[in-house]
């Protein structure tokens, strides 16, 4: 059988594309995760699971609201910014929704219509172009299979194999290793915490509470020393009075940080990229869910119009998204330079007062 479209990855970008493609197309979505099984998730996405206002807006534009079992406590209305480099602490109002990331992905996948074939626990191994079609090799339930398709879409995230194969000579975005450790906690933190500390990273670190766990995370460019740097972060937070109990889980993955517009790859012939695979993620905050949803929806719109010249339409319609990433890079220049950050934080612009004895 020849598919019209094979999508690699059932994260927010891949599920959105699959959900929005026209019924006239024969579509297959594959994901290496066991996204349908009842058993505990073997390959969870390492993520902070905060839905930013941009992501909330896209969901609203899709006509979607969140089911309640996707939401986790506590819901936080502020960020506590700890600038260790400049010894400054400030609070800013934020409007995130705290979600269970795996349940969020499973919910998005559950919205994909029946006409789309979905294969989970199925690993994309590679592809080669044949006459007019693309032959995709997958490892499905212990067996290697070959699948034919007209169009291949890489929605396979930061470590995208589709991208590495299709754009092997192009420059990737800066690749950070991100580590998250889940610590048992008995305290409730009403803030999302962001930490700026050059000794740990030139990007940032965070603490996010999910029910009885405090997730400590960091995105670190120097991956050779990432574990040591992460430990420095945890010790510094402990010295500041944060109580982290037993560590019950450690996660790690790459996180992309596109610094130049040519680090975003959209399509090459009949291979297209969406979401973080294409480099769509904020270089200032690492917020990626809104970009994944948007790029998935834009590509669906372009393909639904026609598969012919879909790439040029995709390029044109993602212009705003790419400009947005460019602007976030300018913001990064101010945020991640300790002198400009000091000036901005000292002025207290947009900051708010918080009662002193709050944890």
Ligand X SMILES: Cc1cc2nc3c(=O)[nH]c(=O)nc-3n(C[C@H](O)[C@H](O)[C@H](O)COP(=O)(O)OP(=O)(O)OC[C@H]3O[C@@H](n4cnc5c(N)ncnc54)[C@H](O)[C@@H]3O)c2cc1C
Binding site for ligand X (CB under 6 A): 8-14, 30-33, 43, 45-50, 52, 55, 123-124, 155-157, 161, 178, 180, 217, 253, 255, 275-277, 281, 286-289, 292
Residue by residue, what is the 3-state secondary structure of 274-287? CHHHHCCCCCCCCC
Least Å from the CB of residue 104 to ligand X: 9
Q: Are 236 and 201 in contact (CB under 8 A)?
A: no
Instruction: Return the number of the residue (48 or 173) whose C-beta is nearest ligand X.
Output: 48
Least Å from the CB of residue 223 to ligand X: 13
Least Å from the CB of residue 304 to ligand X: 19
Alpha-carbon distance 82 to 79, whole Å? Answer: 9
Nearest to 279 by CA among 174, 197, 349: 174
Give the contacts of 320 (CB within 8 A, at least 6 positions apart). none
Instruction: Return the number of the residue (186 or 264) whose C-beta is nearest ligand X.
Output: 264
Least Å from the CB of residue 135 to ligand X: 16
What is the number of the residue whose Cβ is closest to ligand X?
A: 288
Instruction: Return the number of the residue (86 or 174) whose C-beta is nearest ligand X.
Output: 174
Instruction: Return the number of the residue (317 or 342) whose C-beta is nearest ligand X.
Output: 317
Structure letter (DSSP) for residue 40: P
Structure letter (DSSP) for residue 263: G
Angle between helix 310-317 and helix 319-335 axes, rounded to 10 deg: 40
Q: Are 128 and 135 in contact (CB under 8 A)?
A: yes
Least Å from the CB of residue 7 to ligand X: 9
Structure letter (DSSP) for residue 309: T
Least Å from the CB of residue 131 to ligand X: 25
Nearest to 293 by CA among 8, 15, 93: 15
Instruction: Return the number of the residue (146 or 346) whose C-beta is nearest ligand X.
Output: 146
Least Å from the CB of residue 353 to ligand X: 26
For the residues of 171-188, what is the DSSP string, one character each?
PPPEEEEEEEEEEE-SS-
Instruction: Return the number of the residue (86 or 117) whose C-beta is nearest ligand X.
Output: 117
Q: Which residue carries 């026209």 as its tokens?
A: 22
Least Å from the CB of residue 347 to ligand X: 27
User: 71 pairs with which residues across the strands?
Assistant: 99
Distances in whole angstroms, Cα of residue 211 to Cα of each of 24, 71, 182, 208, 299: 43, 10, 11, 10, 36
Instruction: Return the number of the residue (180 or 270) whose C-beta is nearest ligand X.
Output: 180
Nearest to 183 by CA among 233, 228, 250, 252: 250
Instruction: Return the number of the residue (9 or 173) whose C-beta is nearest ligand X.
Output: 9
């Amino acid at each position: 059988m020849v598919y019209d479209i094979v999508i690699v990855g059932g994260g927010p970008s891949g599920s959105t594309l699959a959900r929005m493609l026209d019924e006239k197309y024969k579509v297959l979505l594959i994901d290496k995760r066991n996204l349908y099984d009842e058993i505990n998730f073997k390959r969870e996405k390492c993520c902070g699971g905060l839905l930013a206002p941009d992501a909330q807006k896209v969901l609203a534009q899709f006509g979607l609201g969140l089911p309640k079992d996707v939401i986790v406590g506590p819901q936080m209305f502020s960020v506590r910014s700890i600038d260790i480099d400049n010894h400054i602490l400030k609070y800013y109002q934020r409007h995130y929704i705290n979600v269970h990331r795996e349940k969020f992905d499973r919910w998005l996948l559950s919205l994909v219509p029946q006409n789309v074939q979905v294969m989970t626990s199925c690993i994309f191994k590679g592809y080669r172009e044949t006459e007019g079609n693309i032959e995709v090799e997958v490892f499905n339930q212990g067996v290697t299979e070959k699948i034919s398709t007209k169009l291949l879409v890489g929605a396979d995230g930061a470590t995208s194999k589709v991208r590495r194969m299709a754009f092997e000579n192009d420059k990737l975005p800066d690749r950070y290793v991100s580590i998250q450790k889940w610590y048992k906690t008995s305290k409730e933190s009403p803030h999302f915490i962001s930490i700026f500390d050059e000794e740990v990273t030139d990007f940032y670190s965070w603490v996010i509470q999910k029910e009885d766990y405090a997730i400590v995370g960091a995105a670190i460019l120097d991956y050779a020393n990432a574990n040591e740097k992460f430990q420095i972060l945890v010790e510094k937070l402990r010295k500041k009075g944060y109580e982290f109990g037993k560590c019950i889980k450690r996660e790690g993955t790459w996180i992309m940080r596109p610094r130049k517009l040519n680090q975003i790859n959209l399509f090459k012939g009949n291979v297209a990229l969406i979401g973080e695979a294409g480099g769509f993620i904020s270089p200032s905050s690492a917020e990626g869910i809104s970009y994944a949803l948007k790029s998935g929806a834009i590509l669906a719109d372009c393909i639904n119009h026609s598969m012919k010249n879909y790439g040029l339409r995709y390029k044109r319609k993602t212009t705003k998204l790419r400009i947005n990433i460019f602007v976030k890079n300018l913001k990064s220049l101010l945020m991640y330079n300790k002198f400009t950050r000091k000036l901005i934080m000292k002025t207290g612009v947009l900051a708010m007062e918080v009662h002193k004895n709050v944890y």
